[in-house]
Amino acid sequence: MLAEETLDGTVLSAHWSWDRAKLTAVEVERLGRAWCDVLSHLAVLTADSGGHTPSDFPLVRLDQEQVEEVEALYPTVVDVLPVTPLQQELPRHTARVKHGGDVYNVQVDLDLDGEVDPDIRAAGRTAAG
């Protein structure tokens, strides 16, 4: 069996061989038609079924209900990534703060190439205080 990309889309092709002492050409042709019918039916079911399953997101552990919640929030979801250690810890860190809100600054370091506009440089210095 081979899936080939054509101008009309992906086409599945199969080459049948069999033991002629066990099956006739008519029997193999009938089997081939039944196989194609089942594949066509599965393709229609798959196309109309929509939705993801937990196995579509191997990087995280989600049950079907959670997958459906993600799809409801993000209908065009393609992948779900695990949270980073920092993302996981920030809510815990905030919960430990005893007085008022806590501001946690995530440090970002950027390497820039090229000339910096003097007005932007001045604005950055002003903002940095």
Q: Are strands 2-6 and 9-13 parallel, antiparallel or unpaired?
A: antiparallel
Nearest-angstrom CA–CA distance, 6 and 11: 7
Least reliable range by pLDDT among 33-42, 44-53, 87-96, 120-129: 44-53
Domain boundaries, the chain: 1-50, 52-96
Q: What pTM does this model have?
A: 0.41
Residue 86's pLDDT is 84
Which residue is listed with tokens 């970002």?
108
Q: Give per-residue pLDDT as tens, 36-57.
A: 899 888 777 665 567 889 999 9
- Dihedral sign of CA atoms 22, 25, 27, 29 in order: positive
Closest CA to 35 of 27, 46, 45, 24: 27
Q: Is 49 within 8 Å of 34 (Cβ atoms)? A: no
